[in-house]
Amino acid sequence: MRSRLPVLIAATAVASLVLAGCTSGGDPDASSTPVSGGTLTYASGDAEPTCLDPHVGGNYPQALVSTQYLESLVSKDANGDIVPWLADSWQEASDGLSWTFTLKDGVTFTDGTPFDAAAVAANVAHLQDPTTLSSTGYLALGKVTGVEAVDARTARFDLSEPDSALLESLSQPWLAMESPEALTRSQEVNCESPVGTGPFVVDSWTKQQQVVLTRNDDYASPPADAGHQGPAYLDEIVWRFIPDSASRYAALQAGQVDVIDNAQPDTLVAAAKDDSLDEIDAPRPGASNRIELNAGKAPFDDPSVREAFIRGVDVDSGIDSLFFGTATRSYSPLSSVEPLAFSDESLFDVDTDAANDLLDRAGWTTRDADGYRTKDGVRLAATFPVSTNQSIPAEQSLFEQVQAGAKDLGFDVTLEPLDLSSWYGALAANEYDLVSAPYTKVGPDVLRILYDSDGITPAPSGYFANLSQTSEPALDDLLTRASETSDADERADLYQQAQQMILEGWHVLPLYDQQNHYLVRSAVQGVRALPTVQAPTMYDAYKAS
């Protein structure tokens, strides 16, 4: 098996252009002629979406499937540069309070509705409507006051203050464009069958089983870095939901499915010996996977207790033993794919003596009969809800090791395995002290979403992103200034200062990048991870004869 990161090709391609690098299947230097037709079966281990419209809520399972049928105004290429998609060009006003987009001409949604500036305005209004219950898209558009259709091909975004992350935000699938006519339907109906401009169309959804996507024969709007023009090669995609990792891998080996996601560490090691399989390793952008400490209430409202927990718990040995070299320890709030990620490994040297001294000085000096620390008769306890849909088995085992290490320090950590809905409910009710919550957003502005004090206020969906409940005016100021400046050097410096403040405030225990490991049968060519949020796109995919 060959493991390789995405390498993308500029979009001056013709239909016969062959992808290499990030494309799955065969030798990366080999070439073959794309074959039209056939069905590709994809098996996802992520939670099945409750709604196929990523405007509603806005989680990663929605991004995975919706990338096949919805498109964004802009995209990113392998170099991290913003490139055209449904917008041909864009211009920021000199005061930073508006952005004007010139839209691609002649594009229609698959229900026949024209894609134009009025459609863009309708999509932004839909995302910002509280009844839509958006979280990810809603938060990303926090500075947008509205969109004006200047003319059919010109849409102007008006802002309350400059937003240096607007293009990064608009590249995400949670802000993708949908038919304004379809958006007038009930949310229930639109969740079943969103209508986009993409290369595939939602044909049917058999819940707890699969979504069937069929080719859009009129498709003509690929992003600038796509490998060909015109309709997709595949006739159909069957998007199956197989939550059990062993069953998913067995189906791939047997040829019952062509692509799987959420490949587990032991599976990746086994697959490396199989020449019929290829891996696409595509870490997500935005935040790293991390454990956040709830500073909004005891016991972690005390910085000394936060520091003791982070300095006293060893996660390195668990990552080494449980992930078999498929995950690299992180020391940053940001993913390693973010150019502005800042790390400080020295903060995370395990020092149990220092940790115990911190807890003693914080007043947690007495131990009860079970060995847990107490103060004023109250046990040093922490509740840790775990999403079994989002944390893979290896990660859940890592959390068990964290629990054991914390017990040695005197913390009583209660792990609560929950399904996704119950997990969201626990967070909304503030029934947590520790949490590992994946959050994907293109660019370092994810720090503002996650750590600005405004992020403690819930979005219309009820979800609030600042789960560490960090509330520091100096940090808010850094994040605000970073989000407003268009000067690259100043932006980089401000984000570094912000990350140092987050780490030195002991708000997070970084673990590793958010993992995206896709396994693809080598007979399938052209599958790639879109460089925005690293969701797979099947537009260029085909089954080699």
Query: If residue 253 lies in a helix (H) or strand (E), which one and from where to where?
Result: helix 245-253
Query: pTM of this prediction?
Result: 0.91
Look at residue 10 in the predicted model and tell me its pLDDT: 30
Look at residue 206 in the predicted model and tell me its pLDDT: 98
Look at residue 18 in the predicted model and tell me its pLDDT: 29
Question: How far apart, in whole angstroms, are the C-alpha atoms of residue 315 and residue 327?
Answer: 12
* Residues 118-127: tens digit of each pLDDT: 999 999 999 9
**2-282+516-543 and 289-512: identical CATH topology:** no
- CATH of region 2-282+516-543, choose from 2.30.30.100, 3.30.300.30, 3.40.190.10, 3.90.950.10: 3.40.190.10
Q: What is the DSSP string of 401-452?
A: HHHHHHHHHT-EEEEEEE-HHHHHHHHHTT--SEE------SSTTHHHHHHS
What is the three-class DSSP state of 291?
Answer: strand
237 φ/ψ angles, rounded to the nearest 5 degrees: -125, 130
* Residues 237-261: tens digit of each pLDDT: 999 999 999 999 999 999 999 999 9
Q: Which residues contact 474 (CB under 8 A, 6 or more apart)?
A: 501
- SS3 string, 51-62, reads CCCCCCECCHHH
To 5 degrees, how large is the angle CA 121–CA 185–CA 72? 40
Question: How far apart, in whole angstroms, are the C-alpha atoms of residue 461 and residue 66?
Answer: 19
Q: Is the dihedral of CA 303, 309, 315, 318 positive or negative?
A: negative
Question: How far apart, in whole angstroms, are the C-alpha atoms of residue 200 and residue 182?
Answer: 16
Look at residue 4 in the predicted model and tell me its pLDDT: 33
317 φ/ψ angles, rounded to the nearest 5 degrees: -65, -35
Q: Is the dihedral of CA 272, 277, 278, 281 positive or negative?
A: negative
Q: Which residues contact 185 (CB under 8 A, 6 or more apart)?
A: none
* Residues 104-143: tens digit of each pLDDT: 999 999 999 999 999 999 999 999 999 999 999 999 999 9
Look at residue 30 in the predicted model and tell me its pLDDT: 45
Are 426 and 385 a contacting pair, CB within 8 Å? yes
Are 324 and 267 a contacting pair, CB within 8 Å? no
Low-confidence ranges of the chain (pLDDT < 70): 1-31, 545
Of how many residues is the chain composed?
545
Copy the structure tokens of residue 236: 């159909």
Pairing mode, strands 528-529 and 536-537? antiparallel
Look at residue 471 in the predicted model and tell me its pLDDT: 98
Look at residue 461 in the predicted model and tell me its pLDDT: 87
- SS3 string, 482-499, reads HHHCCCHHHHHHHHHHHH
Copy the structure tokens of residue 308: 């003791």
Residue 82 CB: number of other CB atoms within 10 A? 19
Q: Which residues contact 23 (CB under 8 A, 6 or more apart)?
A: 227, 525, 526, 527, 528, 540
Look at residue 504 in the predicted model and tell me its pLDDT: 98
- Architecture of the structural domain at 289-512: Roll (3.10)
Copy the structure tokens of residue 319: 């990552």
Question: How far apart, in whole angstroms, are the C-alpha atoms of residue 364 and residue 161?
Answer: 46
Domain ranges of the chain: 2-282+516-543, 289-512
Is the preceding omega at residue 385 within 30 degrees of 0, hence cis? no
Q: Which of 457, 533, 438, 432 is nearest to 138 (CA)?
A: 457
Amino acid letter, residue 280: I
